[in-house]
Amino acid sequence: MPDAPGLELIRGEIEQRHRGAVLDTSFDRGQAVLAVDPEQVLDVLRWLREAPGQGYRFLSSLHAADYLPAKPRFAVHYELLNRDRVERIRVKALLEDVPAAGPDAAGDPPPPAVAEASSGAVPPAAPPADETLPEIDSCVELFPTADFQEREAYDFFGIVFRGHPDLRRILLPEDYVGWPQRRDFPIGGEPVTFTYNERAYG
């Protein structure tokens, strides 16, 4: 991975071509990180992939995170690999939460379905029609391996990837409500009986 001076050189070169694209640099768990403007994330990813001397052509992972109560709340992480040099770099795009529309945003009591879900019941069966979700551009055109990974981030965090060729849930049912890896998602649901438990405890 790039060392600290190398990471700052990368930042400087990106800034020459895309002003304001890189917001910060850091080392997280020993890995070089570029925090970028989400509106310019494709410019940064394309530069890291195609610029001479960079060659980060393999997207080994794309995943989302919810940092509630921090602001910005969400992040999309892109783990890029230069396989020739065996070097990794992470690009992190921070996304603001989108306030809910309607009376809930003003602090009114939640509707019965939400209150029931908060008590541990299974969430209701139809998604709210007026929900607004955070958005970022899809990078599938640059990295085809992002296809299913962006769908997974959408499925669990409710992050919309603009321009994705087929953005829909990938693991949960299409009519599932909510985004279960968000930190404010209600905990609970139906207990799962595993085969081992049935054999051991009847």
Neighbours of 146 (CB within 10 A): 21
Its sign, for the CA torsion 99, 102, 107, 108, is negative
Please give the pLDDT value at position 199.
60
Q: Is the pLDDT of residue 36 over 90?
A: yes
Please give the pLDDT value at position 118.
42
Q: Is the pLDDT of residue 198 over 80?
A: no
Q: Please give the domain boundaries of the chain with CATH numbers for all domains.
A: 1-98+141-146 (3.30.460.80)
What is the pTM (predicted TM-score) of this model?
0.79
Q: Is the pLDDT of residue 99 over 90?
A: no
Q: How many residues in the chain?
A: 202
* Residue from 14, 66, 21, 51 nearest 39 by CA: 21
* pLDDT (tens digit per residue) in 157-178: 999 999 999 999 999 998 888 9
